[in-house]
């Protein structure tokens, strides 16, 4: 009997560890860090594109040494600047407008006028809201 109980405990512990590994191993893409900002990028993005974005994030003051997490992706002809935000920010109209303006700046300064949408995301980089760039 004791042996059967030990097997059940070992199985439960193994299942728990595997669950943690699966949860912790989401594939956000490759990663580079620019002045405290983790920039993940998917296979749709070149190293040159992520480096240009990183340089701009430092120049603009976004990458200011504080820990932040963003992801760069491209779907069709649209770049996606995906950023982790605090819960509730996605509903704040001022932050939403800033997100749209920041997308337009990234478009102009990094991607030669290509379309960029900002995605406000949760801490697992799941999109909460998409903010198309605002032309100004």
Query: What is the domain partition of the chain in residue ranges?
Result: 30-132
pTM of the shown model? 0.79
For 17-56, write each residue's pLDDT tens digit.
333 333 344 678 999 999 999 999 999 999 999 999 999 9
Instruction: Please say whether the structural domain 30-132 has been given the CATH code 3.30.300.
Output: yes
Please give the Cα distance from 25 to 107 (Å, whole number). Answer: 31
DSSP 89: G
E strands, the chain, are: 30-34, 37-41, 68-75, 78-84, 116-121, 127-132
């Amino acid at each position: 009997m004791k042996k059967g109980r030990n097997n059940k405990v070992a199985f439960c512990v193994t299942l728990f560890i595997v669950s943690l590994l699966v949860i912790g191993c989401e594939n956000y893409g490759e990663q580079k860090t620019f002045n405290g900002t983790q920039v993940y990028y998917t296979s749709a993005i070149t190293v040159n594109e992520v480096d240009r974005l990183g340089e701009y994030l430092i120049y603009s003051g976004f990458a200011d040494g504080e820990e932040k997490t963003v992801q760069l992706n491209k779907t069709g002809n649209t770049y996606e600047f995906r950023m982790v935000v605090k819960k509730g920010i996605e509903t704040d109209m001022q932050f939403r407008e800033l997100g749209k303006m920041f997308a337009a700046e990234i478009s102009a300064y990094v991607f030669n006028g290509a379309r960029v949408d900002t995605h406000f995301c949760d801490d697992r980089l799941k999109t909460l809201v998409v903010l198309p760039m605002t032309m100004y």
